[in-house]
Structure 1
Amino acid sequence: MNSPTRHTRPLSPNIQIYRPQLTSVLSIANRVTGIVLSAFAVFLVIWLSVAAASPQAFATVQSVMGSWIGQLLMIAGVFSFFMHLSGGIRHLFWDAGYGFQLRTIYASGWAVVIASLLLTGATWVLSIYMAG
């Protein structure tokens, strides 16, 4: 039966003091960007199917993509592509046995973040320049 005093398991002290590290955040980000890219692959198939279906259907999809939410989703997709690509290149170096010093791990992690942001920005600036 139940005893009058309730016994609870003690929480690990690590739960209260844990701070996310750059490496763990980038590992999670790599998985999330992979999922986002999978969703965008499905969207690409839908977009191409609609483009082949009729001009009216294509115009509808293009108007959605031209809205602010559509543009935000496109930026997220482009950033996900570059983040996943940069993280993958980083992992290729690790697979070859390079870059395991703590200082190099953090430098390459920040390089992934900065490269992803710069490449996303450059892509959008170039797309605006090419469109206009």
Structure 2
Amino acid sequence: MLGNILLSISALGQILGPFIADFNETHVMNPRWPPHARFHNGQTMSMGLALGLSSLYYAFRPTANVIVKQESIKTAAVFGTLYWVTGLSAILYPGSKGMDPEFGEGFPQFWMFSIFALCSLMGSYLETRQLKSQTPKVE
């Protein structure tokens, strides 16, 4: 149960976070942004939505088969970490910064992205561990 809660926290962060953080004057409404930058921001926001919904689907996918459920939870974790890992890696590209200079400095996304990724990974670990205890032993 705790595992699915952690997976859900990460998924909801992916679904809502980009729209909360980016649909304002720092990103989508920034008059200095060229249209192609807005295109890629929209792509990223939609990707977060799609990955979060996919993660929720696999986390709560109904199945009576414990082995299939374990694989679904692992798939939920993959979908649940992709957005956060790619967000963390974005700072490595030449000329990339966590914020436009007019809005501040630093990489404020680091901790949030790391925590959400860990929620997904820890949720998967806890949920699959619980499911393994329900797996029948083969002799």
More helix, by proportion: 1
Range into which the TM-score falls when normalised by the shorter chain: 0.3 to 0.5
The alignment's TM-score, normalised by the length of structure 1, stands at: 0.35
The alignment's TM-score, normalised by the length of structure 2, stands at: 0.34
